[in-house]
């Protein structure tokens, strides 16, 4: 009863004379309702359906005994897939819609259904698999957009509303509270700083809106926690990308079509209570610099091994993941001011984020079957993961041999002909004198094999 009284009092204050009219009163007492706020913003939330193709292999071919007995080659085929999701109109004049990358990934046709029933074909302006953010564009009149809140001001316990298209039912609204902030280390995306909510989020809600009670966008609904059974409903643990993070990515995608990430050139680990005692410092939250790459922005800026980073651009650094997210979301050329503890004293270190330098070669240098693909050798010091080396498809010309074999931009190549490859030298050795290529790649969150004959 006490909770009901508090909620009732809250809604009376929220829906006072300065706001939209309340519903019909009961016994002279106005009923609290979110309907006036929702009527204003639901036209900005859209349903997204896509049609695409994926490479698949027969389930029988996954059985080695069956393949060996019948001497059947490992052949893949394309299968058409359909998917459903949601999106948020963020710029009515230009028709820009913010959604999740996984909603439109691999799509050859994207259809947006507006609140008024209109269906419009959309084009992709840019996408970023590392944060699961994408921006698409539609040409339509009389659109309505939604305004942004400042997600840095969110608090656990704030009331929220999730809007989306669960299970393809059509636009649906659920409500709850913010259960936690700054969720990371979940392994869902490369850069994680999730809002956790108990507002019901289900399959199809991805890309939809998480709003506050003023109808301001605070996050993009992205994932739920549960079993792999897609028919399972929400268990009260959903995640959304904070709008401050999503909007930073969005502006880069609109401007460049991709995110141009910079680098700091350091390895770091979390500051623990034991390490804090060893360094004789009071703070128990931060990132300890363990290695600095030669010639990196960190070295040029004066950062040193053993520095404990406690703040970055005024924001508290709780762990190495915080630094990983912060650097990964900054633009090349931007400055980052680090507050560090060195030798018991607090110091300021200013570092300029620099672009990652990637050496690329044409895929034809490995095999004529990869002609048309630009392969990059990535070597960098990653704050969270240490030294990182891998091969990535930087670009693929449409209708080239590489394109027709199934390679796509941003694919990460893990192995060639069952040999682990992280460098060009290893790739040359794996493809030498080989008549066919078996590639193990990662595309977004999906791992797959591609057989090229």
What is d(CA 76, CA 52) in angstroms, rounded to the nearest whole number?
16
Q: Give the CATH number for residue 294.
A: 2.30.42.10
Domain boundary among 258, 285, 312: 258
What tens digit of pLDDT does each residue of 209-221 get? 999 999 999 999 9
Across 302-316, average pLDDT = 89
305 and 363 together in one domain: no
Q: Do 278 and 204 lie in a common domain? A: no
The reply to whether 45 and 121 lie within a common domain is yes
**Residue 227 to residues 186, 233, 446, 448: CA-CA distances in angstroms?**
14, 10, 17, 21
Mean pLDDT, rounded, of the chain: 80
C-alpha separations of 20 from 11, 15, 23, 28, 163 in Å: 12, 7, 10, 18, 20
Structure-model confidence comparison of residues 14 and 282, the more confident one: 282
Selected residue with higher pLDDT from 129 and 81: 129
Residues 312 and 366 in one domain: no
**According to the per-residue pLDDT averaged within each range, which of 9-18, 109-118, 328-337, 433-442 is highest?**
109-118
| Containing structural domain, residue 97 | 35-51+82-258
pLDDT given for residue 134 in this prediction:
94
Give the pLDDT confidence score for residue 233 in this predicted structure: 55
More confident residue, 250 or 323: 250
The domain that holds 196 is classified in CATH as: 2.40.10.120
- What pLDDT, in 10s, does the model give residues 94-103? 999 999 998 9
Res. 5 pLDDT band, cuts 50 70 90 = very low
348/378 same-domain check: no
d(CA 9, CA 250): 38
Question: Looking at the domain assignment, is residue 135 inside a domain?
Answer: yes
Say if residue 243 is in the same domain as residue 277: no
pTM over 0.85: no
Strands (E), 92-166: 96-99, 107-113, 119-128, 133-137, 159-164
Asked if the model's pLDDT at residue 74 lies above 70, the reply is no
Q: What is the pLDDT of residue 52?
A: 75
- Residues tagged active-site: 102, 132, 206
CA atoms 354, 355, 356, 359: torsion sign: negative
């Amino acid at each position: 009863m006490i909770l009901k009284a508090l909620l009732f009092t809250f809604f009376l204050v929220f829906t006072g004379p300065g706001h939209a009219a309340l519903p019909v009163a009961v016994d002279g007492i106005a009923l609290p309702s979110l309907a006036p706020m929702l009527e204003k913003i639901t036209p900005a939330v859209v349903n997204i359906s896509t049609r695409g193709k994926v490479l698949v292999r027969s389930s029988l071919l996954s059985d080695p005994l069956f393949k060996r007995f019948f001497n059947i080659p490992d052949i893949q085929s394309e299968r058409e897939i359909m998917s459903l999701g949601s999106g948020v109109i963020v710029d009515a004049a230009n028709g820009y819609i913010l959604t999740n990358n996984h909603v439109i990934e691999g799509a050859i046709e994207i259809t947006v259904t507006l609140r008024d029933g209109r269906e419009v074909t959309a084009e992709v302006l840019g996408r970023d698999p590392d944060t699961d953010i994408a921006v698409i564009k539609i040409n339509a009149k009389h659109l309505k957009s939604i305004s942004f809140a400042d997600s840095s001001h969110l608090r656990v316990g704030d009331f929220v509303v999730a809007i989306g298209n669960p299970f393809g039912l059509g636009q649906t609204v659920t409500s709850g509270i913010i259960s936690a902030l700054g969720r990371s280390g979940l392994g869902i995306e490369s850069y994680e700083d999730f809002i956790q909510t108990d507002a019901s989020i289900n399959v199809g809600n991805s890309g939809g809106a998480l709003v506050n009670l003023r109808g301001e966008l605070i996050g993009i609904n992205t994932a739920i926690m549960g079993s792999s059974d897609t028919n399972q409903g929400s268990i009260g643990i959903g995640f959304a990308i904070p709008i401050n993070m999503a909007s930073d990515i969005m502006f880069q995608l609109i401007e460049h079509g991709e995110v141009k990430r910079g680098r700091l050139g350091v390895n770091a680990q979390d500051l623990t209570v034991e390490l804090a005692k060893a360094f004789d410092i009071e703070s128990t939250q931060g990132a300890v610099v363990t290695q600095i790459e030669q010639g990196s922005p960190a070295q040029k800026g004066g950062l040193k091994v053993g520095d404990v980073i406690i703040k970055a651009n005024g924001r508290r650094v709780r762990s190495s993941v915080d630094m990983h997210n912060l650097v990964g979301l900054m633009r090349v050329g931007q400055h980052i001011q680090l507050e560090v503890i060195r030798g018991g004293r607090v110091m300021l270190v200013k570092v300029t984020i620099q672009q990652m330098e990637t050496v690329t070669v044409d895929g034809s240098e490995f095999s004529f079957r990869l002609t048309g693909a630009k392969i990059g050798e990535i070597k960098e010091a990653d704050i969270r993961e240490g030294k990182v080396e891998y091969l990535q498809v930087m670009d693929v010309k449409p209708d080239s041999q590489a394109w027709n074999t199934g390679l796509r931009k941003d694919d990460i190549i893990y192995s060639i002909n069952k040999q682990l490859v992280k460098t060009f030298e290893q790739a040359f050795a794996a493809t030498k004198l080989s008549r066919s290529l078996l590639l193990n790649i990662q595309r977004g969150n999906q791992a797959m094999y591609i057989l090229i004959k």
